[in-house]
Structure 1
């Protein structure tokens, strides 16, 4: 196979790999319709892994050059909206964890705000962090399934995070943010392993693991804000 054909085939295969995310989204939706929440989160987590891997592959194999007919960023955003927002928020309401008016509040606020955020052309900072909360409602929903907080607390937190999507606040990208990357990757791996264990175990974790899961979630939520604060204290610009 000539090098140019090989490069195009390899780049196209990355798009095909990214597109598998919509298959996992469909499987997650079917599980949610059947109220099989464990399997729903398993499929959402598989989609999350695909989303974490396809970006580095796309950059390595120059998909924008060798497979430019397909917009990988657009494809990724379509799948992310399904797996990060639409299905998890549906699950929070239908599961009964956020019922009634609190549930209706989440059904209206989160998908609406997230639709705007996902088309924000300034959602990334220069160091590949996120400008504003990155709309990871799949992670938020899993924490709610594990912790089962009061529905109004869930709604309040969801409103705060929805507003935070449009504020100049920094949140780390688990793979691309360079600062603290080894720690972030390690914490992400711990979070993912505990998330799979929680989903597979009907959302019950032993107390030590539940505390570790909560700590990992807080790190991923707050690390970027801490980095931003430290940079401002050093007088760096653009933060």
Structure 2
């Protein structure tokens, strides 16, 4: 077997390895005394795998040398599990929604299903996702904080609003495909945001309010830049 083929299939195996943290996150959710911080750490590991497998797939030309497997399908299945289904299930499991309304997370789950299945879900030529790109894993962390520090109703209203945006014709930056003049700020910002969330996780679910506010700077920048770049297309 050629070296190029071995490398390409190794990338497929890396993508598929995301099922391990996904399974461990589900095991924690199903445990009698679920610790959401552990779930978030497993989801973070799954996100790191997702962040590096795309560039590696392009680097090692998996579509050419490992064409018997559709890496996009594997990636989409794992993305739905770790970016949408599992974190939304965690919100329900931890009672971060108003009493009797936890089940409405299925609206977000359904919206993400349609979002992933939409024929225009990704505009890779210009580097955009269609709709809110199902970053429910990050949202779930804020959901726990909002429910503890403000009200479960704030969690509910924002979740329902993002569910609508998931199936709406709005466009958000695909981080790995951001145009070069902006890519560094998006990628570095994402790393700093992840660090900020880890700091909040240390004092979860009631970190300092000032730190929560600072952590929201990057999402605000991401949304504003997405709008700006889409207008320029």
| TM-score for the superposition, normalised by structure 2 | 0.90
Aligned partner of 2:18 in structure 1 is 21
Q: Do residues 5 (structure 1) and 6 (structure 2) align? A: no
Between 1 and 2, higher relative CO (CA 8 Å, sep ≥ 6) is seen in 1
CA drift of 1:208 comes to 4.0
CA drift of 1:68 comes to 0.8
Superimposed CA distance per residue, residues 47-94 of structure 1 (whole angstroms, 9 cap, x where no aligned partner): 111111100000010001111111100000111111011111111111
Q: After the TM superposition, which segments of 4 or more aligned residues of structure 1 sit over 4 Å from their partners?
A: none
CA drift of 1:191 comes to 0.9
Point out the more displaced range, 42-51 or 116-125: 116-125
- 1:47-86 counterparts in 2 under 5 A? 47-86=46-85
Change (3 A) 1:221 1:69: same
- 1:135-214 counterparts in 2 under 5 A? 135-148=134-147, 149-178=150-179, 180-214=182-216
Change (3 A) 1:228 1:101: farther
Aligned partner of 2:45 in structure 1 is 46
CA drift of 1:33 comes to 2.0
Q: Following the alignment from structure 2 to structure 1, what is the Cα–Cα distance between the partners of residues 37 and 7?
A: 34
Structure 1 residue runs of 5 or longer lacking an equivalent are none
CA drift of 1:156 comes to 2.1
Point out the more displaced range, 161-170 or 87-96: 161-170
- 1:127-138 counterparts in 2 under 5 A? 127-138=126-137
Q: Do residues 122 (structure 1) and 120 (structure 2) align? A: yes
Q: Do residues 220 (structure 1) and 218 (structure 2) align? A: no
Q: In 2, are the aligned partners of 1:24 and 1:43 still within 8 Å (CA)?
A: yes
Structure 2 residue runs of 5 or longer lacking an equivalent are none
SS at match of 1:130: strand
Superimposed CA distance per residue, residues 130-157 of structure 1 (whole angstroms, 9 cap, x where no aligned partner): 1211111111111212333422322222
Change (3 A) 1:45 1:180: same
Point out the more displaced range, 65-74 or 26-35: 26-35
Q: In 2, are the aligned partners of 1:131 and 1:168 still within 8 Å (CA)?
A: yes
Change (3 A) 1:44 1:59: same
Q: Following the alignment from structure 2 to structure 1, what is the Cα–Cα distance between the partners of residues 44 and 114?
A: 24
| TM-score for the superposition, normalised by structure 1 | 0.87
Superimposed CA distance per residue, residues 113-142 of structure 1 (whole angstroms, 9 cap, x where no aligned partner): 111111112111231211211111111111
Q: Following the alignment from structure 1 to structure 2, what is the Cα–Cα distance between the partners of residues 203 and 100?
A: 18
